[in-house]
């Protein structure tokens, strides 16, 4: 504070130059950061993938398995059982098959109490363990499959279960395993996996009293890695490697490279984000294709929603990926389960060679293709450039206040210099900042209350209660300042603007440490508008001021999320009539809101929490600045 309150501050040439060119400099940094980000898709700005962990020995694995015939037998038997139990998992059949293979077989029971209507749901996971003959059960590898009944709306995973059983039969006969291998079939998609992981580690990842993980009657060693299988047919054309986990976490890059390397060795077409590597002669086309792949990963990672069951392992320090295989459609060569089984075998055997946990390669990276990566040291720089403009804006406003104070103090030669902070109404500023954040925290904690009120008083469904409540909150936060313009001292408005700017920039940097993609997309959208918000809007032309108001209203966290969901709906159903499209978007918005809240309660996804407790208060502070008449 000594530097900020020094009477001589703000008189240097650099400071004067900064104050004079503040806005052009801030926007130049923003544009430079965006352009730099786009250039990262060029080969000159990224690197070829490579193995950092030599202990994997991926090139020295001699594959011995031939699982095609065994997989087909299991597949036909499983389909017969699934028809007998179209809505549930054939527990007895799966347990019997694991037992016939002489595995240690266990059943895991779990339950879920729906947080809004106190409804209870139950489920079971079944797993078998091949104990390591060459070690004392200190480490383990998981091979998992999510069970989906015939009536499921998701793609079939019966071929994956057949492959898992065939691979378990193969592993049971081998004597070279140094790690336990857990073969896990989970129910109810990610719920079953989350319950099993919580029970295995003896923790509760979400809120207490919602997902009852129960106890496990059998355990293996400390889990080193996991492979989740989602093959949708006995013959596939390609394998897509999924990596995005909960809250944007990613597995170690070596595991991704291992999977891609083994898939390519078997002559199966590989993809990432459902996009195949294409080499265009035209450099612009090549850049555009890789940039789209990169942005696809960024958009997926930003949501914080796992792209498969693998994404729930990462919070426990377990590296995991999902291998998804698709049925042939159109032209292209097919791969049978002889090739697919050897891919799984080679990955697990490479993991069996590990002497320690993954640590050599990157945990933070972006991928423009299956064989190139962008490290954190490269992609953080564009984001820093974009955010730097917000810090410069806050510093410039503070220096202008300081300069104004110094000129007033110069007139009082016989009086002691006073601290600039005395000229602020600290109580008023602190109260405004505090209440904005209290409001955000209350909104974050309000879903159960809103659902209860809507159900008891208006007999509404949960999604209608929550959507109506948040729509009302959004309307009130907009109208509160839209029709109420207050007159506040210029110094107080400026200080609020400084605090909000610093908080936004700091929050984005903190979020980037965990989920870079979320911070990046938020910064790209919010920063240019924030740079235009000043304590005195009289200097802005009326037309620009009106556009600024519209832009900031559109950036209200709940309004922005609705726009994104509506845009996503349009991209998927653009052939629908406009009325049908709007109705679809309305329903999708309600479901997205409920899912984000439930995910935060069950899995600990903090997208909803960040939106309400961090971004909403910041938005309110800037809204107050915009609607305050500085005196």
Q: What is residue 603's predicted lDDT score, i.e. its pLDDT?
A: 93
H-state helical runs in 317-461 = 337-352, 376-409, 426-444, 447-458
Mean pLDDT, residues 432-450 taken together? 92
Provide the pLDDT confidence category of residue 418 given band limits of 50, 70 and 90. Answer: very low
Nearest CA to 312 out of 197, 208, 229 is that of: 197
Going by pLDDT thresholds of 50, 70 and 90, the confidence category of residue 417 is very low
Tokens of 343: 């891919």
Q: How far apart are the C-alpha atoms of 371 and 46, rounded to whole Å?
A: 10
* 51 phi/psi in degrees, rounded to 5: -90, 125
d(CA 625, CA 620): 9
**Does the pLDDT value for residue 282 go beyond 90?**
no
Tell me what pLDDT residue 427 has.
Answer: 81
CA separation for the pair 194, 172 (Å, rounded): 27
Q: Which residue has the higher pLDDT, 402 or 103?
A: 103
In this prediction, what percent of the chain has a pLDDT beyond 70? 91
Q: What is the mean pLDDT of residues 514-519?
A: 94
319-327 and 222-231 strand pairing: parallel
Which of 374-388, 400-414, 444-458, 580-594 has the highest average model confidence (pLDDT)? 374-388
For residue 386, what pLDDT is reported?
A: 96
Q: What per-residue confidence (pLDDT) applies to 330?
A: 67
pLDDT at 18: 80
Q: How far is CA 389 from CA 10, 54, 233, 532, in A?
A: 18, 43, 51, 11
Q: 419 pLDDT band (50/70/90 cuts)?
A: very low
Instruction: State the virtual CA torsion across 507, 40, 565, 601 in degrees, nearest 10.
Output: -50
Write out pLDDT tens, residues 140-167.
999 999 999 998 888 999 999 999 999 9
Q: What are the DSSP calls for 516-549, one per residue?
A: HHHHHHHHHHHHHHHTT--S-GGGS-HHHHHHHH
Scanning 173-230, the segments in alpha helix (DSSP H) are: 190-201
pLDDT tops 70 at residue 385: yes
Radius of gyration of the chain (CA): 28
- Output the CA–CA distances (angstroms, integers) from residue 81 to 75, 165, 605, in the order listed: 10, 15, 35
Poorest-pLDDT segment among 389-393, 527-531, 627-631: 627-631
Percent of the chain whose pLDDT exceeds 90: 58
- Candidates 320, 343, 344; CA nearest to 244 is 320
344-353: per-residue pLDDT in tens? 999 999 999 8
Higher pLDDT, 5 or 357: 357
| 8 Å CB contact between 287 and 35 | no
**CB–CB of 227/323 below 8 Å?**
yes
Residue 1's pLDDT band, with cuts at 50, 70 and 90, is very low
Q: Which CATH class is domain 63-273+307-356?
A: alpha beta
- Name the 3-class secondary structure at 186: strand
List own/partner pairs for 507-511 with CB under 8 A and 24 or more apart: 507/614, 507/615, 507/618, 508/383, 508/387, 509/384, 509/387, 511/610
Q: What is the pLDDT of residue 322?
A: 96
Average pLDDT over residues 84-92: 88
538-554 confidence digits (pLDDT tens):
556 667 778 888 899 99
Q: What are 208-235's pLDDT values in tens digits?
A: 889 999 899 989 989 999 999 999 999 9
* Cα 113-590-274 angle, rounded to 5 deg: 90
CA distances from 564 to 251, 299, 470, 560, 592 (A): 27, 11, 16, 6, 11
**CA 610 – CA 130 distance, rounded (Å):** 42
pLDDT at residue 413 in the model: 45
> Which tens digits make up the pLDDT trace of 579-594?
888 888 889 999 999 9
Give start-end residues of each CATH 3.40.630.10 domain in the chain: 63-273+307-356
| β-strand pairing of 236-242 with 222-231 | unpaired
> Under 8 Å CB-to-CB from 288, ≥6 apart: which residues?
none
Polymer length of the chain: 631
Question: Does an H or E element contain 305, and which?
Answer: none
For 30-97, the DSSP string reads HHHHHHHHHHTTSGGGSEE-----GGG-GGG-------HHHHHHHHHHHHHHHHHSTTS--HHHHHHH
Tracing tokens 């002889």 back to the chain, one arrives at 338
- Average pLDDT over every residue of 89-103: 93
Kindly indicate the confidence band of residue 569, based on its pLDDT and cuts at 50, 70 and 90.
Answer: confident
Q: Return the closest-CA partner of residue 244 out of 200, 281, 274.
A: 274
Calpha distance 558→612 (Å, rounded): 9
Mean pLDDT of the chain, nearest integer: 87
pLDDT band at 414 (very low <50, low <70, confident <90, very high): very low
- Residue 120 is predicted with a pLDDT of 87
pLDDT at 601 over 60: yes
Q: Is the pLDDT of residue 405 over 60?
A: no
The CA-based diameter of the chain, rounded to the nearest angstrom, is 98
The yes-or-no verdict on residue 192 having pLDDT over 90 is: yes
Cα dihedral 551, 34, 257, 293 sign: positive
Strand partners, 236: 327, 335
| Host H or E run for residue 107 | strand 104-113
C-alpha to C-alpha distance for 223 and 246, rounded to whole angstroms: 18
Secondary structure string (H, E, C) spanning 254-301: HHHHHHHHHHHHCCCEEEECCEECCCCCCHHHHHHHHHHHHHHHHHHH
For 14, phi then psi, to 5°, come to -65, -40
**Helix, strand, coil content of the chain in percent (nearest 5):** 55, 15, 30
Q: At residue 611, does pLDDT exceed 50?
A: yes
**More confident of the two residues 301 and 629:** 301
What are 626's strand-pairing partners? none
Does pLDDT of 490 surpass 50? yes
Across residues 356-370, what is the average pLDDT? Answer: 90
Encoded tokens for 510? 């903190």
> What are the two backbone dihedrals, phi and then psi, of residue 12, each rounded to the nearest 5 degrees?
-70, 160
Segment among 49-63, 315-329, 541-555 with least mean pLDDT: 49-63
Cα-Cα-Cα-Cα torsion 555, 560, 566, 570, nearest 10 degrees, comes to 60
């Amino acid at each position: 504070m000594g530097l900020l309150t020094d009477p001589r501050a703000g008189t240097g040439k650099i400071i004067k130059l900064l104050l004079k060119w503040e806005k052009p400099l801030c926007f130049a940094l923003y544009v430079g950061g965006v352009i730099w980000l786009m250039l990262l898709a060029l080969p000159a700005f990224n690197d070829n993938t490579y193995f950092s962990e030599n202990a994997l020995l991926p090139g020295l694995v001699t594959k011995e398995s031939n699982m095609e015939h065994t997989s087909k037998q299991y597949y036909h038997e499983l389909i017969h059982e699934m028809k007998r139990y179209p809505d549930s998992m054939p527990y007895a059949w799966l347990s019997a098959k694991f037992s016939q293979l002489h595995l240690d077989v266990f059943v895991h029971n779990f339950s879920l109490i729906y947080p809004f209507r106190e409804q209870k749901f139950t489920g079971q996971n079944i797993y078998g363990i091949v104990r390591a003959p060459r070690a004392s059960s200190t480490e383990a590898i998981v091979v998992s499959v999510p069970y989906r009944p015939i009536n499921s709306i998701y793609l079939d995973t019966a071929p994956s279960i057949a492959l898992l059983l065939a691979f378990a039969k193969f592993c049971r006969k081998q004597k070279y395993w140094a790690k336990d291998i857990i073969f896990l079939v989970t129910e109810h998609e990610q719920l079953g996996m989350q319950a099993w992981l919580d029970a295995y580690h003896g923790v509760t990842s979400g809120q207490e009293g919602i997902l009852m993980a129960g106890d496990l009657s059998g355990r293996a060693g400390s889990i080193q890695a996991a492979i989740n299988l989602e093959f949708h047919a006995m013959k596939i054309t390609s394998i897509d490697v999924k990596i995005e986990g909960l809250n944007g976490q990613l597995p170690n890059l070596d595991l991704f490279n291992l999977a891609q390397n083994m898939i390519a060795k078997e002559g199966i077409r590989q993809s990432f984000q459902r996009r195949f590597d294409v080499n265009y002669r035209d450099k612009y086309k090549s850049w555009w294709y890789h940039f789209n792949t990169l942005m696809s990963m960024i958009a997926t990672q930003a949501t914080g929603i796992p792209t498969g069951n693998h994404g729930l392992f990462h919070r426990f320090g377990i590296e995991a990926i999902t291998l998804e295989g698709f049925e042939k459609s159109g032209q292209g060569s097919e791969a049978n389960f002889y090739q697919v089984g050897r891919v799984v075998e080679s990955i697990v055997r490479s993991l069996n060679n590990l002497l320690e946990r993954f640590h050599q390669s990157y945990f933070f990276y972006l991928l423009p293709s299956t064989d190139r990566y962008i490290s954190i040291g490269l992609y953080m720089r564009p984001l820093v450039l974009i955010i730097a403009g917000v810090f410069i804006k806050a510093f410039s406003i503070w220096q202008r206040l300081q300069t104004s104070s110094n000129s007033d103090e110069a007139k009082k030669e016989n009086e002691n210099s006073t601290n600039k902070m005395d000229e602020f109404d600290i109580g008023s500023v602190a109260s405004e900042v505090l209440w904005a954040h209290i409001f955000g925290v209350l909104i974050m904690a309000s879903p159960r209350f809103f659902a209860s009120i809507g159900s008891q008083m208006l007999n509404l469904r949960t999604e209608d209660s929550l959507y109506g409540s948040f729509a009302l909150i959004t309307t009130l936060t907009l109208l509160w300042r839209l029709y109420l313009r207050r007159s506040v001292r210029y110094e107080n408005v400026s200080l609020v603007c400084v605090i909000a700017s610093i908080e936004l920039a700091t929050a984005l940097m903190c979020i980037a440490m965990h989920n870079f993609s979320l911070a990046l997309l938020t910064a790209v959208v919010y920063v240019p508008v924030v740079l235009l918000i000043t304590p005195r809007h009289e200097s802005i032309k009326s037309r620009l001021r009106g556009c600024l108001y519209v832009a900031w209203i559109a950036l209200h966290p709940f309004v922005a999320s609705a726009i994104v969901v509506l845009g996503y709906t349009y991209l998927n159903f653009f052939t629908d009539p406009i009325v049908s499209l709007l109705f679809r978007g309305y329903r999708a918005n309600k479901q997205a809101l409920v899912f984000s809240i439930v995910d935060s309660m069950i899995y600990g996804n903090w997208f909803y929490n960040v939106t309400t407790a961090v971004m909403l208060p910041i938005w309110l502070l800037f809204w107050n600045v915009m609607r305050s008449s500085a005196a």
